[in-house]
Amino acid sequence: MKRRSFLTTATLASAGLTTMLITSCTSNSKKDEDVVPGTDSNTVFELDEETISSLRKKLNSGEYTSQQLVQLYLKRIESIDQNGAKLNSIIEINPEAIAIAVAMDKELKVGTNRGPLHGIPVLIKDNIDTADKMQTTAGSLAMVGNIASKDAFLVSKLREAGAIIIGKTNLSEWANFRSTQSSSGWSSRGGQSKNPYILDHNPCGSSAGSGVAVSANLCVVAIGTETDGSIVCPASVNGIVGIKPTVGLVSRSGIIPISKTQDTAGPMARTVSDAAILLGIIAGVDKDDDVTLESADKAKKDYTVFLDLNALKGKRIGIEKKLQGTNKNINLLLEDAINLLKKQGATIVEIEYIEKINALGQAEFEVLQYEFKDGLNNYLAISNAKVKNLSEVINFNNANEDSAMPYCKQETLESSNEKKGLNDPKYVESLIASFEGSKSILDTVFQENKLDAICGITMGPSCSIDVIYGDKWGSYSLTSPAAMSGYPHITVPCGQVYDLPIGLSFFGTPYSEGELIGLGYAYEQASQKRTKPSFKASFLS
């Protein structure tokens, strides 16, 4: 979950100041000292910008073995993540990664090919259970030592597909549901992750590490999770593709929860094609997650069939009539994107909906607090963690304040712990207002305007890292409509302002992932806006 306006009234109040400060710093000059040693354009990483498909060909031809791929990515992590730029996106390396790669190589040698992910290194977020030698901690020191007894359902799907989980990624602690003043991408266990484009800037969250790792070529693809913005925001500001699926398409069992209403896992990749491949592998019905039963006849085994260069032709795309903010550079990116959509055959329809959705923010926060307490207590009760409920997490943090809470505190954990059960009338009232209300607003807009998707700027550019006062995101954000309703959302690179990436969002009605992938792919291929990170040391250098 990314920083949300309902968590702090400072967000909207600071939007104008943020825009002013960003606008005043527009130098694009790059001196030698601006770039972190070992990360400039002369440093060649032989797997730079590789895709699942390109690596698949190299594995099948024998040019590489899976063991070699894993070793190369682990070396890249050591040189760029742990040293060099010190991106700090990886919280733990899988000590069994090379052994698993050797096993996958042996299978290929005898003619066993599990599919496109066979022998491909991936990373997953550290709130997803793995029954191996890695911990699952949500970045919290209170959870250190928690080694799951069972793989999360999606992890089982990855392993069955032959993917090699080479490690876990850092995240905003408790998926950014700990404090109203936290810095996205910071956790007490993992420290602060950095944006690979400008290292003193924020990677957004809560899937910060997954977004950074994919962007910086520390892996081919990664898994993130989202409650509100936690996939699409870090995808947007790290210059990659992110898909937040319909709630119910991907199982949540074995994932440390915030909200049973809004939580989902999803793919993060450098290309729409790779994201589509990964989505087809992790989607599926899980008997331990009842909401996935709704996807039984709606999930696709292969989302790559929707990769159509002409997917935008004849489509009706809704754009909010009121601009998200006043920054001329960002608005020019949106204008250029709209013109490209039109050129590709789409019809643009002006709509009004975002203010109605944003008005439901407080109701959403109420729902999340109730569901976080209920879901986390259920998870911890059967986990191998030393803390067995939310109260014990809070007590641990208080007892270890210097290490667990050196900057922001835990007011969101505390306010959630004060909530009653899910039969509380206030919870029911808030759920109706937030979940049903947002669906009603969006359904009306889609139906009355005969839309295929709604589009807009995903997020403004990354803000500066500030672990003391927390994130200061501007007014550009399109995460909440799809998050609150549980609808699908894809973000695709749209360009840069001030050397920082901006994403373009498409979201639609339930289980329209295939159609959104088509739209995103057509835009991606026509625009070609993905740019590799520059690893610039500082915004002002």
Contact indicator for 207, 38 with CB cutoff of 8 Å: no
- Residue 57's region, left for phi above 0, alpha for psi from -120 to 50, else beta, is alpha
In order, the DSSP letters of 91-113 are EEE-TTHHHHHHHHHHHHHTT--
Q: What's the per-residue H, E or C state across 110-142?
A: CCCCCCCCCCCEEEEECCECCCCCCCCCCCCHH
Closest residue by Cα to residue 267 from 51, 97, 439, 456: 51
Q: Is 273 a catalytic residue?
A: no
In order, the DSSP letters of 441-495 are HHHHHHHHHT-SEEEEE-B-PPPBP-TTT-----S-B--HHHHHHT--EEEEEEE
For the chain, how long is the longest CA-to-CA vector? 62
CA distance linking residue 318 with residue 449, whole number of Å? 8
10 CB-near residues (< 8 Å, 6+ apart): 472
Q: Is 125 a catalytic residue?
A: yes
Contact indicator for 19, 327 with CB cutoff of 8 Å: yes
Q: How many Cα atoms are found within 13 Å in the side-chain-facing hemisphere of 423? A: 0
One-letter amino acid at 453 equals A
Contact indicator for 514, 521 with CB cutoff of 8 Å: no
Give CA torsion, residues 311, 315, 321, 323, to 10 deg.
0
Catalytic site residue from 66, 172, 184, 230: 230
> Looking up tokens 């990314």, which residue turns up?
2
User: For 37-40, which contacts have Cβ atoms below 8 Å and span 24 or more sequence positions?
Assistant: 37/84, 38/79, 38/80, 38/83, 38/84, 38/85, 39/80, 39/84, 39/85, 39/533, 39/535, 40/535
Q: Is 5 a catalytic residue?
A: no
Catalytic site residue from 66, 182, 183, 206: 206
CA distance linking residue 341 with residue 321, whole number of Å? 16
Catalytic site residue from 2, 66, 125, 464: 125
Contact indicator for 313, 280 with CB cutoff of 8 Å: no
Helix (H) or strand (E) holding 340: helix 328-343
Q: What amino acid positions are annotated as catalytic residues?
A: 125, 206, 230
